[in-house]
Amino acid sequence: MPKKQQHYKTIVLSDIHLGSKWSKTKEVTRFLKQHSCDTLILCGDIVDGWSLMRGKNSKWRRCHTNFIKVLLDISHDTKIIYVRGNHDDFLDRVIPLTFSNISVVKDYIYTSGDKRYYVLHGDVFDKVTSSMSWLAKVGDVGYSFLLWANKIYNRRRLKKGLPYYSIAREIKLKVKASVSYISDFEKHIVDIAGKKECQGVICGHIHYPEKKMIGNVLYLNSGDWMESLSALTEDYDGNWNVYIEEKVLSTRQMEKETIFHTELAV
């Protein structure tokens, strides 16, 4: 029996990376079919232009096209705000752009009740991606290698009956430089939100889902659909939650996945 669709005031997705072979496009498409909203914010890196240009780790699959079709279908009833990210920086040539019920922008002020949220991908606060794009692309290759190693490592864990383990996530949490980078990113992005007289900030970019107060500003990061499989949801009372779709590898068949849905109130 199909799962009953759950409706929200707002859903935020980011870092889907369509065009990359690491994109969990089927999972995010399933998510959109099971969760509807009045406003859908696509917070950058929806299409991975870097991967498509590089070619080696890219492949535009039918499921990537199906995701675009779902967006077009829901746009009849849902307002869609597409905020440009660094991997889809090819959009710089056309933004701002509005067609039908879809707007493509560089950044956005989202108003909910009496609160204003500054919405942006977040790459402008990353010195590597904003000032040294060549180094960022080298780092992107390294991240792709981590994802490849992660896949091989988890195949071996699966044979031993062990649960899924994210190498990339653990590196982010344990390496001092990575933790410092995330902390600096959050601080800078919250500071600019305050200067824009916003009570909250919504972003992506660092592939780390989060909801927390930093000073007087609510910091919200939607994570990604390569590893975290996460989103932000807002109900009609203005309450935000981090949604995480947990991926459990089957012990009988590695390529099949059993999806358990959890809503994590942080």
For residue 209, the Cα-to-chain-centroid distance in whole angstroms is 8
Residue 94 lies in a domain: yes
In this structure, the answer to whether residues 47 and 21 fall within a common structural domain is yes
Among 242, 118, 127, 121, CA closest to 180: 127
Strand pairing partners for 116?
111
Classify residue 204: in a domain, yes or no.
Answer: yes
Residue 244 shares a structural domain with residue 151 = no
Q: Are 74 and 12 in a shared domain? A: yes
Q: Does the pLDDT of residue 250 top 70, yes or no?
A: no
CATH number, domain with residue 232: 3.60.21.10
What SS3 state is found at 159? helix
Residue 1 domain-assigned (yes or no): no
In a domain, residue 194? The reply is no
Query: Does residue 139 share a domain with residue 116?
Result: no
Is it the case that residue 89 has pLDDT exceeding 60? yes
pLDDT computed for residue 16 by the predictor: 96
Phi, psi of 219 (to 5 degrees): -95, 125
Whether residues 111 and 215 fall in one domain: yes
* Closest among 240, 217, 244 to 229, alpha carbons compared: 244
Per the structure, the complete domain to which residue 151 belongs is given by 129-165
Are residues 73 and 48 in contact, defined by beta-carbon separation less than 8 angstroms?
no
Q: How far is CA 132 from the centre of its chain?
A: 22
Instruction: Say which residue the tokens 């896949």 belong to.
Output: 151
Are 207 and 111 within one domain? yes
Give 184-219 pLDDT, tens digit per residue: 889 999 999 999 999 999 999 988 899 999 999 999
Domain end, chosen from 165, 189, 224, is at 165
Indicate whether 238 pLDDT > 90.
yes
Same domain as 206, residue 146: no
Mean pLDDT estimate for the chain: 80
pLDDT for residue 3: 66
Chain-centroid distance of CA 210 in Å reads 11
Query: How many structural domains are present in the chain?
Result: 2
Mean pLDDT of all residues in 69-86: 96
Q: What is the pLDDT of residue 130?
A: 44
Cα dist. 135→74, 140, 177 in Å?
Answer: 37, 9, 17
**Is 257 domain-assigned?**
yes
The answer to whether position 176 is within a domain reads: no
Summarize pLDDT for 183-193 with one digit per residue, the tens: 788 999 999 99
Do 114 and 143 fall within a single domain?
no
